[in-house]
Amino acid sequence: MRENLHRFFRAARGAGVHVSPAESIDAMRAVAQVGFSDRDILRDALLLTLAKSQDEKLALGDCFDLFFSQPEPRQEQEANDNDASSKDGQPPSPDAANDAGGGQPTEGLGPLAQMLLSQDRNAIATAIASAAGAASLSNIRYATQRGIFSGRILDAMGLQRLRDDLDDLTAANPSLAERLRTALEGLREAVRDTVSQGLALYAREEAENLRNEILRNAPLARIEPRQVEEMRALIRKIARRLRERYSKPRKRQRRGHLDVRRTLRRNAAWGGVPFLTAWKRKHRDRPKIVALCDVSGSVARVSDFFLLLIHSLHEVVDDVRSFAFSSHLIEVSNILESNSPEVAMAEIMSKVGFGSSDYGSSLDDFEHEFMSTLTPQTTVIVLGDARSNNLDPRADILRRISERSKRLVWLNPEGRMVWGFGDSEMPRYATFCSVVRQCATAQQLERAVSDIVASYQ
């Protein structure tokens, strides 16, 4: 049974629950206390020791139900009998042959054939499970491996012998052979189900990692519509990671500067003899961000994901004001706060989107209406390709923005190679920016935002 628990821990990791070795030891100890006879108690015990949040509890609960939805091979004698009946509620697949069995001459057949003919569901399920163990089903990673693993499991169960038996029987006893053949079909189906279950349990993590890795490095501007939803989920995941990393306000003590007022106060009880010292602390500001996003055709997708990311960082970033522009500029913070991302983006697009971009007049709009939002603590992020259709770039406004703010970061979805070619004004703008970086994929986006937030820590 210990083997089974180890496999369950692996499945749990696949389901996104962090199971560290220490936690698995705890779970083992807990299970040793409660035993296996009561499934609900076992479930509770595992949920208590392994899952550390409400989300993890849900995921682990589902994983538990999937994992134990099949009778497991039992090595230990304890609770063997009363257990079998309770767990057998859902056999892995209905046995195909239903006609009257038993009483037929089965001598001279292999063990698998006998087992199939006797229609002992429990024995078959146990055999499948132990064959799956022998074929190390828990190593399955990709859906394409299903065939291989089914084959291995069937081989381990003695398919070869069964085939020989079938050949012999076809001549000797056709009706029995027919029954055996239907039973074999049923068995194949059961094995296929077992493998699919194994895939769902063990391969989830791997497959998800692979898909996310591809998605992280895909250019945001050119992803297919069907991937948009996945990308949103990925962005949310990134946001969660950034939140976890940066949301804890860190107080760094700066020893060496005595806080006289607080020290005297604290030691009043001892006549001002300073037993306890109080030191001045350095206060750090929460990030203040002003984001200017180009939503003209070429950059809209990237802006979409960027705004989604920045606005899901509430715990980390106190104060975000977002502006969208193509030919003119409007504030979009409220739209983003009060709507779901899809609705918000559609509304922004209908207001300013899809025009040909004019950086000069957009910057001009910003200077006239919103210049007062900039403080020396503000990081200004401009997201755009700096292609201004040969109109006046008004780099002088960007210089004033840069002077008023803490930092000016320019994120450009285009590659460095093409900056400055055609109507790109990037080199001219770049002189006033603290940082200029390419930002085309989710990974680059994460790094850019993480750097900005980290500069406040």
Which positions touch another protein (CB under 8 A)?
18, 20, 22-23, 26, 29-30, 32-38, 40-41, 44-45, 47-49, 51-54, 57, 78-79, 244, 247-248, 250-251, 269-270, 273, 275-276
Q: Which among 295, 420, 426 has a CA at the least distance from the CA of 350? A: 295
Residue whose tokens read 């569901």: 121
Residue whose tokens read 């991302």? 341
Q: Nearest-5° angle of CA 294, CA 297, CA 301?
A: 70
Nearer to another protein, 54 or 390 (CB): 54
Nearer to another protein, 23 or 230 (CB): 23
Residue number, 6 or 245, with CB nearest to another protein: 245
CB environment 153-163: b (16+ within 10 A), e (fewer): bbebbbbeebe
Closest approach of Cβ 407 to another protein, in Å?
A: 27
Residue 311 backbone phi and psi in degrees, to 5? -85, -5
Nearest approach, Cβ of 404 to another protein (angstroms)?
Answer: 33
**Of 32 and 454, CB closest to another protein:** 32
- CB nearer to another protein: pick between 239 and 348: 239
Shortest spacing between CB 447 and another protein, in angstroms: 23
Minimum separation from the CB atom of position 285 to another protein (A): 18
Min dist CB 51 to another protein, Å, is: 6
| Least Cβ distance, residue 101 to another protein (angstroms) | 34
Characterize the bridge pairing of strands 279-282 and 378-383: unpaired
The pair phi, psi for residue 383, each rounded to 5°, is: -115, 115
State which residue, 60 or 129, has the beta carbon closest to another protein: 60
Considering the complex, state which of residue 51 and residue 115 has its C-beta at the smaller distance from another protein.
51
Which of 447, 438, 440 has the alpha carbon at shortest distance from 410? Answer: 438
Measured from the CB atom, the residue of 30 and 330 that comes closer to another protein is 30
DSSP string, 158-220: THHHHHHHHHHHHHH-HHHHHHHHHHHHHHHHHHHHHHHHHHHHHSHHHHHHHHHHHHHTSBG
- Which residues, in sequence order, are bridge partners of residue 387? 424
CB of 456 to another protein, least distance (A): 17
Q: Please, are residues 307 and 333 in contact by the beta-carbon 8 Å criterion?
A: no
* Nearest approach, Cβ of residue 38 and another protein (Å): 5
Give the pair of three-digit tokens for residue 315. 């715990």
Q: Among all chains, which residue has been given the structure tokens 């089903």?
A: 137
Which residue number, 43 or 399, has a Cβ lying nearer to another protein? 43
Closer by beta carbon to another protein, 36 or else 149:
36
Q: Rounded to whole angstroms, how far apart are CA atoms 320 and 113?
A: 70
Instruction: Kindly state the tokens that stand for 327.
Output: 């030919």
Sign of the alpha-carbon torsion through 184, 186, 192, 194: negative
Chain-centroid distance of CA 376 in Å reads: 36
Contact at 8 Å (CB) between 287 and 379? yes
Judged by CB, which is closer to another protein: 41, or 391?
A: 41
Least spacing, CB of residue 104 vs another protein, in Å = 40
Residue 365: Cβ within 10 Å count: 18
The minimum distance between CB 21 and another protein, in angstroms, equals 10
Cβ at position 54, least distance to another protein in Å = 6
Burial class for 219, CB neighbours closer than 10 Å (0-12, 13-18, 19+): middle
Degrees to nearest 5, angle at CA 364 with 363 and 368: 115
